[in-house]
Amino acid sequence: LLLGCLRRLRTQQRVAPHSLFYCSDGRTLSDDDDEDGDDDHVGAAQAEVKQRHAVAKALVKRLKQLKAEAGGTAKQLYGIYRALDERLWDSEAASIKQSFQAEGLIQTKGAHRGWSKPSEVSWRSNGTFMDSLYPPLLPQYRDFNRFFLDRLGIPRELSTAKWVEALARLGSVEGLDERKAAALAIYRRANGDLTPRFGRDEVQVPAWIQTFQTDAVYINQRGEMVANDEYLFANDEPELAALFEDDEDLSFLALPPSDVPRLSRLLNAAEVSRLSESIISEVVDSDSGSVDHDLTARVRRSVHFFARVLYSKRPESFEQALEAGRFASLREFEVVEVAEVKLSVSLGDY
């Protein structure tokens, strides 16, 4: 009935108020909602504003009813959303937007059936885990991008802050592999936001980085969510990590080793220790061997190449190595070939 009224909306300035909204059965909205005749004493423009407000209010009320009944067909929803967008938004934008934000009047179907607020949905799919938190609208409302994106302000892409917030809910994912995959996707998204755009050397550190510094948002080798402390390490040396895997106090970030350097900006900003930089190895026993003179000569000749690469990649490390006499030591370096070497490997107090 309401949508039938909207189809007959007249926008002329000089017209009797009761003829603004003809329904398919000949009745008008004013016949039902304005029995006291007050509109007879106001101008046509004021009457139209009042009528639009009444229709918008009625359509929102109908959405609330459909939500309460857990019902509503696609045709009903499309008709109401289209009317709010195309015919009523210009004059009723504030009230419509407030109603959607307060009442959650966006219906989603399928695997994520329910009713949501604009802040609780996404436009595009973001993977199984994120879709369970922010149902995507695009598959269901492909032709309503203006209403949801431009009118209601739903972003085309979920903000990185929302991705990071989702880490606190990873515990709800039952499968360990699925949990690891979801965590890795979020880590990659966060790392991407820390990568400077073209023409910029650095990026401003976002507020969500504090989550990585203080909260239990790291998934370890046992599938547990842990905080960044002295017992957490980015596992860039899986062979060495295997020596400590039975120690329940230690956590190794459950990432493929190849992803550790790829996530370097996030790990650096969050100050996550690398296993390779934290481990201490000492030779405790080795067989006597013979000096490989050829390889020793090649290493000594290559010292200046090592220095140039280090200077270009890590200038600060180059200066530290220079002051510590590391390059001079390499010129005295000697390569010895032995049958067996025994190492003592320690990680902190372990």
* Residue 230 reports pLDDT greater than 80: yes
What pLDDT, on a 0 to 100 scale, did the predictor assign at position 182? 95
Buried b (16+ CB within 10 A) or exposed e, 278-293: ebeeeeeeeeeeeeee
* Residue 22 reports pLDDT greater than 80: no
What pLDDT, on a 0 to 100 scale, did the predictor assign at position 40? 55
Residues 197-217 pLDDT 10s = 776 767 788 999 999 999 999
3-state secondary structure of 257: coil
* Residue 184 reports pLDDT greater than 80: yes
* Residue 270 reports pLDDT greater than 80: yes
When pLDDT is averaged across residues 164-181 and rounded to a whole number, the result is 92
Residues 98-138 pLDDT 10s = 999 999 999 998 888 999 999 999 999 999 999 999 999 99
> What are phi and psi for residue 345, nearest 5 degrees?
-115, 125
What pLDDT, on a 0 to 100 scale, did the predictor assign at position 19? 35
